[in-house]
């Protein structure tokens, strides 16, 4: 009684989507799309977006949501830039960069800790909580930077320019993050508990799981990945501003939803985020190609992201309804068959 659209089918349809888009775009633009340079620049763009989608994915998994991830990313980038600029004259570029990175990651972890504590200990709903902390983080970092852009020392540029095995370093960071999160969610006890909490917080409490601790851990993972995304954004632009990437939240939500994460928790696999992020970036590249030099193309792709998010939510809702109806019909048929045998 396997559902027609089970996890395996979903994996294959995502792989099909990625391959199909690749073939389509290569056919449309054989000179520009399938070149090493273009694919590498796409990979550089996928990395921060994919990391933000991981933030959404891990919090979706436990039935929560982290709406503060974009602001945490920008805030960590600001902190990294400020620390590096402050330390570079006295310690030299190398140590300053290292300390800046650590400071950025700590910012993310701290932000995640705050989110997690408020949600787990006070049992506030995650949507208003992360909306509130998001506004607080935005306020803090706007105040610190006075709303202006902070420029860096250029020491992180190699993250997006140098390559290992043809893939940019930042993309490797993203792949490692996905792999680590896959291992955690699929192979460890913590992962098992996260799925259980997403399925039912109440039952997990009755099973004497320490739900609060695991929720805090999930939000801290989200904060950590958000700060990684911030570091990658900062590395790519050599600049940090609290208002960068305002449409990232929609895109990250979209990627998490395409990846099959259930907003109500308990199902979906984080590994799919990698495929979904690649597919989303291909769509973006395709849009840019179609829109070409039109001045409104950036806004039009915002529009397209919004339409896509809602269309895909609608599609999965329709699929879910159909599957549920099928199951009901099959169950009824089985009952009728049983009854026929019994009499």
Q: Does 122 bind another protein (CB under 8 A)?
A: yes
Q: Which of 19, 290, 307, 333 is the binder for another protein (CB under 8 A)?
A: 307
Q: Does 317 bind another protein (CB under 8 A)?
A: yes
Q: Does 244 bind another protein (CB under 8 A)?
A: no
Strands 239-240 and 150-151: antiparallel
Contact 195/60 with Cβ under 8 angstroms? no
Choose one: 34-42, 143-151, 172-180, 279-287; the region binding another protein (CB under 8 A).
Answer: 143-151
Q: How many CB atoms lie within 10 A of CB 334?
A: 11
Closest to another protein by CB, 218 or 249: 249
Q: Give the orientation angle of helix 272-291 with respect to helix 36-61, to 10 degrees.
A: 130
Number of residues that bind another protein (CB under 8 A): 53
Q: How far apart are CA 102 and CA 313, in angstroms?
A: 37
Q: Which of 306, 319, 323, 326 is the binder for another protein (CB under 8 A)?
A: 306
Closest to another protein by CB, 4 or 202: 202
Query: Token pair for residue 184?
Result: 């955690």
State the nearest-atom distance from the C-beta of 69 to another protein, in Å: 12
Q: Which of 20, 92, 147, 154 is the binder for another protein (CB under 8 A)?
A: 147
Listed in sequence order, the residues at least 6 apart from 102 whose beta carbon sits closer than 8 Å to its beta carbon are: none
Q: Does 139 bind another protein (CB under 8 A)?
A: yes
Contact 258/276 with Cβ under 8 angstroms? yes
Q: How many CB atoms lie within 10 A of CB 171?
A: 25
Q: Does 129 bind another protein (CB under 8 A)?
A: yes
Q: Give the orientation angle of helix 248-258 with respect to helix 297-342, to 10 degrees.
A: 30
The pair phi, psi for residue 239, each rounded to 5°, is -155, 150
Contact 222/240 with Cβ under 8 angstroms? no
Q: Does 202 bind another protein (CB under 8 A)?
A: yes
Choose one: 39-47, 97-105, 136-144, 165-173; the region binding another protein (CB under 8 A).
Answer: 136-144
State the nearest-atom distance from the C-beta of 99 to another protein, in Å: 26
Restricting to residues 159-188, which ones interact with another protein according to CB under 8 A?
none
Contact 223/134 with Cβ under 8 angstroms? no
State the nearest-atom distance from the C-beta of 206 to another protein, in Å: 7
Cite the beta strand spans of 169-300 per DSSP E: 239-240
State the nearest-atom distance from the C-beta of 139 to another protein, in Å: 3
Sign for the CA dihedral angle at 257, 51, 62, 68 comes to negative
State the nearest-atom distance from the C-beta of 94 to another protein, in Å: 32
Q: How many CB atoms lie within 10 A of CB 275?
A: 21
Restricting to residues 66-85, which ones interact with another protein according to CB under 8 A?
67
Q: Does 247 bind another protein (CB under 8 A)?
A: yes
Q: Does 124 bind another protein (CB under 8 A)?
A: yes
Q: Does 154 bind another protein (CB under 8 A)?
A: no
The count of C-alpha atoms lying within 13 angstroms of the C-alpha of 49, restricted to the half-sphere facing its C-beta, is 26
Q: Which of 35, 187, 314, 336 is the binder for another protein (CB under 8 A)?
A: 314
| DSSP per-residue letters across 61-125 | HTT---TTHHHHHHHHHHHHHHHHHHHHHHH-HHHHHHHHHHHHHHHHHHHHHHHHHHHHHS---
Neighbouring-strand partners of residue 151: 239
Q: Does 118 bind another protein (CB under 8 A)?
A: yes
Closest to another protein by CB, 38 or 316: 316
Q: Does 313 bind another protein (CB under 8 A)?
A: yes
At 159 the three-state DSSP class reads helix
**Contacting positions for another protein (CB under 8 A):** 65, 67, 118, 122-125, 127-129, 131-140, 142-143, 145-147, 202, 205-206, 246-247, 249-250, 253-254, 257, 263, 295-297, 299-307, 309-310, 313-314, 317
């Amino acid at each position: 009684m396997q559902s027609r659209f089970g996890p395996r089918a979903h994996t294959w349809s995502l792989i099909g989507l990625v391959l199909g888009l690749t073939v389509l775009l290569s056919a449309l633009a054989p000179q520009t799309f399938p070149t090493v340079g273009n694919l590498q620049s796409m990979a550089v763009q996928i990395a921060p977006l994919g990391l933000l989608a991981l933030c959404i994915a891990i919090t979706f998994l436990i039935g929560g949501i982290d709406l503060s991830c974009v602001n945490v990313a920008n805030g960590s980038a600001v902190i990294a830039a400020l620390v590096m600029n402050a330390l570079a004259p006295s310690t030299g570029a190398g140590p300053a960069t290292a300390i800046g990175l650590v400071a950025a990651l700590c910012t993310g972890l701290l932000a995640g800790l705050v989110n997690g504590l408020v949600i787990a200990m006070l049992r506030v709903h995650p949507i208003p909580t992360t909306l509130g902390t998001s506004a607080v983080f935005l306020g803090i970092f706007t105040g610190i930077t006075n709303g202006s852009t902070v420029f860096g020392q250029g020491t992180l540029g190699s993250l997006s320019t140098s390559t290992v095995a043809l893939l940019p370093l930042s993309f490797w960071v993203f792949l490692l993050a996905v792999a680590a999160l896959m291992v955690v969610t699929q192979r460890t006890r913590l992962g098992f508990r996260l799925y259980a909490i997403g399925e039912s917080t109440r039952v997990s409490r009755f099973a004497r799981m320490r739900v609060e601790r695991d929720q805090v851990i999930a939000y801290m993972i989200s904060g950590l990945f958000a700060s990684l995304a911030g570091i990658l954004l900062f590395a790519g632009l050599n600049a940090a501003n609290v208002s960068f990437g305002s449409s990232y939240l929609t895109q990250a939500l979209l990627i998490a939803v395409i990846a099959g994460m259930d907003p109500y928790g308990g199902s979906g696999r984080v590994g799919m985020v990698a495929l979904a992020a690649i597919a989303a970036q291909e769509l973006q590249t395709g849009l840019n190609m179609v829109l070409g030099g039109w001045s409104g193309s950036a806004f039009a792709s915002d529009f397209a992201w919004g339409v896509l998010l809602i269309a895909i939510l609608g599609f999965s809702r329709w699929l879910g309804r159909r599957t549920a109806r099928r199951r009901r019909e099959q169950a009824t048929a089985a009952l009728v068959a049983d009854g026929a045998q019994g009499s």
